[in-house]
């Protein structure tokens, strides 16, 4: 298993009990913009915003999806939506890094439009893109992308959370976190290089379970 900041997920898993399965890809299927799973379709979804898509699509599940589904169900939500900093489908983050350093498009033409739709659908979003490989951490294009996405979130007023922050102030990937971990509110830490800090404010995950289920 890779270190939490260097997520490499391969293989698929089969999950049951979904009433809705959906994924939005580019025509070439090199980019996945959003993913949805619902077991109570009318419920408000919990948003998850991570680094880039792996193998999950409209029919197939992967280890990360299994992990965040268990967490979302435990938190009392009836659906989840997934978006990413980068739309590029890649099971190895070093592939993302290599293409990004070469100047190739790793975001995807429709990513920003679909990010806005994701923000509209999900008032509460758990961040989980991790540190990533060192060459990603130090890349100017990665810092710009994090800045753009955090600015979009701030403009839309969504509540953002992390299950844990790394020493670098990045939201740790949920695959490596216990299912009973409780997300906490976060905010951008200053105006320098993008990083996060713990923040105060309303926390849907601290609301009593019965009340939370009514709200979501």
Average pLDDT for runs of 10 along the chain of length 216:
32 68 97 97 96 95 95 94 98 95 97 98 97 93 96 96 97 94 95 91 86 68
Query: How does strand 196-198 pair with strand 184-188?
Result: antiparallel
Kindly report the pTM of this predicted structure. Answer: 0.90
pLDDT at 51: 97
pLDDT at 8: 33
Inside any domain, residue 64: yes
Beta bridge partners of 146: none
Structural domain for 179, as ranges: 20-215
pLDDT at 212: 67
Inside any domain, residue 35: yes
Inside any domain, residue 107: yes
Inside any domain, residue 193: yes
pLDDT at 207: 84
Inside any domain, residue 7: no
| Alpha carbon distance 26, 3 (integer Å) | 30
pLDDT at 196: 97
pLDDT at 3: 31
Inside any domain, residue 44: yes
pLDDT at 4: 31
Inside any domain, residue 14: no
Query: What is the length of the chain?
Result: 216
pLDDT at 208: 78
* Closest to 176 in 3D by CA, of 49, 33, 2: 2
pLDDT at 153: 97
Q: Which residue bears the tokens 């009318």?
A: 42
DSSP one-letter string for 93-124: HHHHHHHHHTT---S-TTHHHHHHHHHHH-SE
Contacts of 84 (CB under 8 A, 6+ apart): 32, 49, 50, 51, 52, 53, 111, 129
| Alpha carbon distance 81, 47 (integer Å) | 5
Inside any domain, residue 125: yes
Provide the number of structural domains found in the chain: 1
């Amino acid at each position: 298993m890779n270190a939490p900041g260097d997520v490499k997920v391969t293989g698929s898993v089969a999950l049951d009990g979904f009433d809705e399965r959906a994924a939005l890809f580019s025509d070439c299927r090199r980019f996945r913009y959003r993913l949805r799973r619902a077991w109570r379709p009318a419920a408000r979804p919990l948003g998850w915003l991570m680094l880039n898509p792996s193998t999950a699509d409209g029919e197939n599940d992967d280890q990360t999806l299994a992990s965040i589904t268990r967490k979302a169900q435990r938190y009392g939500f009836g659906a989840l939506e997934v978006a990413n900093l980068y739309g590029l489908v890649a099971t190895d983050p070093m592939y993302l890094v290599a293409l990004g350093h070469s100047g190739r498009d790793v975001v995807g033409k429709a990513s920003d439009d679909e990010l806005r739709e994701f923000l509209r659908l999900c008032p509460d979003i758990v961040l989980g893109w991790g540190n990533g490989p060192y060459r990603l951490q130090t890349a100017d294009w990665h810092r710009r992308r994090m800045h753009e996405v955090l600015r979009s979130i701030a403009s839309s007023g969504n509540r953002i959370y992390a299950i844990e922050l790394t020493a670098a102030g990045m939201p740790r990937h949920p695959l490596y976190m216990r299912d009973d971990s409780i997300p906490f509110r976060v905010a951008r830490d200053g105006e320098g290089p993008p990083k996060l800090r713990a923040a105060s404010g309303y926390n849907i995950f601290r609301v009593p379970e019965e009340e939370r289920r009514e709200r979501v």
